[in-house]
Amino acid sequence: MRKRLLQSTLTDIMKRNLSDGGFSNQPHGMFRPDATAWAMIIFKTQAGHEELVEAAGKRLERSQIIDGRVVLSQDHLDAVWPTPLSILAWQGSSSSKDSWSKAVAFLLQAAGVHWENTDQALVGHDTLIPGWPWSEDTHSWVTPTAMSMLALASAGFREHERVQAGVRLLVDRQIPSGGWNYGNTSVLGKELRPFPETTGLALNALAGHVKQEQIQSSLEFLLEHVSTFRTPLSLGWSILGLRAWHIVPDLAPEWINETLERGHRFDGYDTASLCVLLAAGLATGGLESLLPSVPQESRLY
């Protein structure tokens, strides 16, 4: 990633920093917990932004309710999907340790709605495996499950039964020919097509949990198509997923630069998408390689 592009992109994100410390997802927008968490993750990698990160973390805490979940807004208390992102953002922050601990505790007991699948031709996956949902009282899907696994693994729970259930869920939801979509493998007997962003995220979450041969077809899907991706989420998560498995395409920096330049030329990207793309350019491995380590005595067991 070219330094000039990195700095101009960080400046663009900084313009979304609100007076209360949080970040909006678009210029002149309203506070969003996901935009704030992603901005914190990125600015923690850059020296000199400690006060900004601290203020953003405090604003993010006001999106947390008493049981530990971090919600999209006070009008949507069932939208719990910002919780794992917040855990990643708060990681290593002594001032937000209590909020981090509460969010981890919530995630360990949260789960999607599950039932016995009596018609494999209708829904082509095991509906009994517990994962995590986007919203409370709904089924578990790939993105919130993978993000929750990353958050809990980073907090010291890599071997916890909930994370291991997440591993089983993602393996079960892998499309037979490779990759992942939002969470089904087939509907009415027809195999669905994989999405690059969910494939990269799932590969990132599974790194270190399964053998490469179990996900080789998904790696091959990304390697075949990643050179054509030019949206920040598709390209960013694809590169992070490959990096998590120690695969670094030689042209990845060029693809990231091209995607950033396209954003500058047109209407720009939302904050979360920009941060995913920057993470792909800054990371030496998967997303976890960008996060501060948690001291052993600070972990929860």
* pLDDT tens, residue by residue, 151-168: 999 999 999 999 999 999
SS3 category, 130: coil
Beta-carbon contacts of 123 under 8 Å, excluding residues fewer than 6 positions away, are 117, 184, 187
Give the pairing of strands 190-191 and 186-187: antiparallel
Q: What is the pTM of this model?
A: 0.95
Residue 295 has a pLDDT of 54
* pLDDT tens, residue by residue, 11-35: 999 999 999 999 999 999 999 999 9
Beta-carbon contacts of 65 under 8 Å, excluding residues fewer than 6 positions away, are 71, 77
Task: Specify the DSSP element, H or E, that contains 7.
Answer: helix 3-14
Between helix 271-282 and helix 232-244 the angle, nearest 10°, is 30
Cα distances (angstroms) measured from residue 56 to each of 34, 68, 218, 269 = 11, 18, 36, 20
DSSP bridge partners of 180: 195
Per-residue pLDDT of the chain in tens (301 residues, 90 and over written 9):
788 899 999 999 999 999 999 999 999 999 999 999 999 999 999 999 999 999 999 999 999 999 999 999 999 999 999 999 999 999 999 999 999 999 999 999 999 999 887 776 677 889 999 999 999 999 999 999 999 999 999 999 999 999 999 999 999 999 999 999 999 998 888 899 999 999 999 999 999 999 999 999 999 999 999 999 999 999 999 999 999 999 999 999 999 999 999 998 877 899 999 999 999 999 999 999 999 876 544 455 4
Between helix 97-109 and helix 50-61 the angle, nearest 10°, is 50
d(CA 4, CA 146): 32
Residue at 289: amino acid letter: S
Give the CATH class of 3-293: mainly alpha
| CB crowding 70-88: b at 16 or more within 10 Å, else e | bbbeeeeeebbbbbbbbbb
d(CA 259, CA 119): 42
- Which of left, alpha, beta for 247 (phi over 0: left; psi -120 to 50: alpha)? beta
Output the six-digit token pair for 35.
């935009």
Cα Rg for the chain, rounded, in angstroms?
18
Question: Among residues 20, 57, 64, which one has the least CA distance to residue 39?
Answer: 57
Output the six-digit token pair for 121.
């031709």
CB neighbours (10 Å) of residue 208?
A: 12
- Of the chain, the percentage scoring pLDDT greater than 70 comes to 97
